[in-house]
Structure 1
């Protein structure tokens, strides 16, 4: 889970001119589910970006989420078929030949003091892209499950919190008008860890029977329940068309109680299989889902849960194998 950058994405004239010269390649949505990986860099012992690319390829990773314009990684991704969800700050990016599918404005800013500025920044960036003839990029943002009144509740009882409902209503109207998805960070481990009441099998996609029944909907796993809670909250503010994408999810392999390499492997491999099955959720069956596993590497400048969410150690050895697709 990346911490939001200090400034909120003020797009200067120089940024507009820079982006106008970008060569963005159209990524035509296949309508198929996809799972990528987050590439965060809150560590000072990571391998050079050019050495990371072969790890993407050997693991079958075809999409990556960058939290900020990382010039070295964007250079490494040039002329590949890996699609990029790019987080932006007030830096300038000027890279060619990278398939940028999403620009994500802000991470976990709603609710919060910067929430009033998120939509304006998105609209300005979307208008700028449109003026320069770039129509292949969706502009969106990432929210936490904290936009809801309660994170763990039967979906039918979900509402946006009083501190987020107005911001979310306006944001969703914009996304609906453009056909853009909303990105959300969904961590069943955090709910499992915090409540102490959730069966491990339910959190890890291994429950043989439904654990939660909500009217006519039955839930075999916690992630589907959390995603459907957000869908219900969206419906309650009149939005039924906006789709969700999972910006982050994962399970720590060390650092806190309930974290182990074995459990992390079970969660992430089952999560990938669940997304690629195209089953969707009980309330959105057969709806293709895009998702990103957090994180590519363990990060030595973090602590606890978020230091140990990596699929690889910084020496490039796998913490455990996850196959995202055909290698």
Structure 2
């Protein structure tokens, strides 16, 4: 691959935020629920509506989320997780039952405007070693058959959100693009099936991952304000990697006789923390640049016209896997509590992003390293390790928002992260002889020590965080933190 279209899969729940850009384009955003203290579904639906969002894309079909979307007028893409593909591929009855429960019932009873079913999520990632290779297409066929039987074949379309690594090019020119050799015939089958059923090809494109994965990737090629060495592909000029990546797919489809297949950009965005290139300034520059770039139906050199795209993501998720990188928990346009991270103009009449309303917080108190404690205490290293393996410390590390903290600040951040995720329980700030609760905000500059929001889980409700994915701190971050304690 020489086109710098390296991408990575993210097995996370997503919601598509759609805002009118100019008169023809619509952009969405991903809403995930892998959070220790998630905003309630009604709060998120109101956030979407307050910001003019008209479409949502989900990775699953959580009845609480779909119930909150009832009567909202928001268009919905429901998702089928990869771990459900096997059963759906084996049984048409299973597919019919899934459609009846997760599509038909909500359309008829809850007035949920379901438009798409996403069958799996990036199932052909090369890193998955072919796990879902033989079952994704049969599952897609069975869901399509089930929709037709339910009388929804014309209203609800199937699709598969795919990573951009399903296609590649032999040069930097998009015109040399084709599907990945090991899945070439399968991708042609799937694409033809989608075309035959009037369904779209959905692809996730991440210029940030190109930059993260390749130290030689040119920074200005990731954005939309001009690349110093634009690529000339037989008269078509490419000054940003998004257009080049997108048109590599267009060429792959065209070469295989499916050139008119519609394309949806399932995920596109920029994280704000967890890596030296993940920050608020770059995220605002990329997302605003992208919105401006696709406005006015300009499209790409190979596909002029409206671009149907969904920003990744709506709100930060502190319980996502960090296997791809520490940035993985910081993709949101909004913070974990629904406050905007930066200004984003969504159209000529936009007044900027509007925060989530009626969000309640835990008490204004933090857990920090006691002033009487020594960083040389032998309990420091295991305490920090425990805190960060059970909470979120991804804002610590080289180039992150908290990179300038000293050793004491790093330790305090770790303690507070664990304390907040455990709902400020007194027992969660009892690191042996090291920690103390304070009402003085320890935040420094861009490094914010969180106070978690109040959730129904804390006050006895049913919408807890059970079932959300948790991953321990990665090794590099742990080594970094422990080294600070030895300074």
Which TM class, normalised by the smaller chain length? 0.7 to 0.9
Of 60, 77, 84 in structure 1, the residue corresponding to residue 52 of structure 2 is 60
Distance 1:150 1:187 in 2: 16
Mapped pair 1:106 → 2:120: yes
Q: Deviations over 1:124-147 (max 9, x none)?
A: 111111122112111010111111
Distance 1:152 1:270 in 2: 26
SS state at 2:178 partner: coil
Does structure 2 retain, via aligned residues, the 8 Å contact 1:53–1:76? yes
Does structure 2 retain, via aligned residues, the 8 Å contact 1:250–1:294? yes
Equivalent positions of 1:179-194 (< 5 A) are 179-194=198-213
Does structure 1 retain, via aligned residues, the 8 Å contact 2:168–2:177? yes
Mapped pair 1:263 → 2:285: no
Query: How big is the shift at 1:152?
Result: 8.0
Equivalent positions of 1:247-286 (< 5 A) are 247-286=266-305
Mapped pair 1:82 → 2:74: yes
Mapped pair 1:322 → 2:344: yes
Structure 1: gaps of 5 or more residues: 6-30
- Aligned counterpart, 1:202: 221
- Aligned counterpart, 1:129: 147
SS state at 1:281 partner: coil
1:138 and 1:237, CA in 2 relative to 1: closer, same or farther beyond 3 A?
Answer: same
Does structure 1 retain, via aligned residues, the 8 Å contact 2:118–2:159? yes
- Aligned counterpart, 2:194: 175
Q: Deviations over 1:171-195 (max 9, x none)?
A: 0110111121110010011112222
Does structure 2 retain, via aligned residues, the 8 Å contact 1:59–1:323? no
1:219 and 1:245, CA in 2 relative to 1: closer, same or farther beyond 3 A?
Answer: same
Query: How big is the shift at 1:150?
Result: 5.0
Does structure 2 retain, via aligned residues, the 8 Å contact 1:49–1:72? yes
Distance 1:316 1:283 in 2: 37
Question: Which deviates more, 108-117 or 317-326?
Answer: 317-326
Query: How big is the shift at 1:277?
Result: 2.4
Question: Which deviates more, 264-273 or 183-192?
Answer: 264-273
Question: Which deviates more, 296-305 or 219-228?
Answer: 296-305
Does structure 2 retain, via aligned residues, the 8 Å contact 1:183–1:246? yes
Query: How big is the shift at 1:4?
Result: 7.3
Specify the structure having the higher radius of gyration (Cα).
Answer: 2
SS state at 1:35 partner: strand
Query: How big is the shift at 1:323?
Result: 4.1
Distance 1:311 1:34 in 2: 16
Query: How big is the shift at 1:86?
Result: 1.2
SS state at 2:137 partner: helix
SS state at 1:84 partner: strand
- Aligned counterpart, 2:33: 41
1:324 and 1:99, CA in 2 relative to 1: closer, same or farther beyond 3 A?
Answer: farther
Tell me the TM-score normalized by structure 1.
Answer: 0.86
Q: Deviations over 1:274-319 (max 9, x none)?
A: 2232111101112x22111111111111331211101111222111
Distance 1:296 1:311 in 2: 5
Does structure 2 retain, via aligned residues, the 8 Å contact 1:153–1:229? no
Question: Which deviates more, 223-232 or 315-324?
Answer: 315-324
Does structure 1 retain, via aligned residues, the 8 Å contact 2:175–2:248? yes
- Aligned counterpart, 1:139: 158
Q: Deviations over 1:7-64 (max 9, x none)?
A: xxxxxxxxxxxxxxxxxxxxxxxx9432111111121111111111222122221111
Question: Which deviates more, 219-228 or 57-66?
Answer: 57-66
Does structure 1 retain, via aligned residues, the 8 Å contact 2:333–2:342? yes
Query: How big is the shift at 1:249?
Result: 1.0
Query: How big is the shift at 1:148?
Result: 2.0
Distance 2:229 2:266 in 1: 26
Distance 2:66 2:237 in 1: 42
Query: How big is the shift at 1:151?
Result: 9.4
Distance 2:189 2:333 in 1: 36
Greater relative contact order: 1 or 2 (C-alpha under 8 angstroms, separation 6 or more)?
Answer: 1
Of 3, 10, 13 in structure 1, the residue corresponding to residue 11 of structure 2 is 3
- Aligned counterpart, 1:14: none
Does structure 1 retain, via aligned residues, the 8 Å contact 2:71–2:112? yes
Note the aligned Cα RMSD (angstroms): 2.2
SS state at 1:183 partner: strand
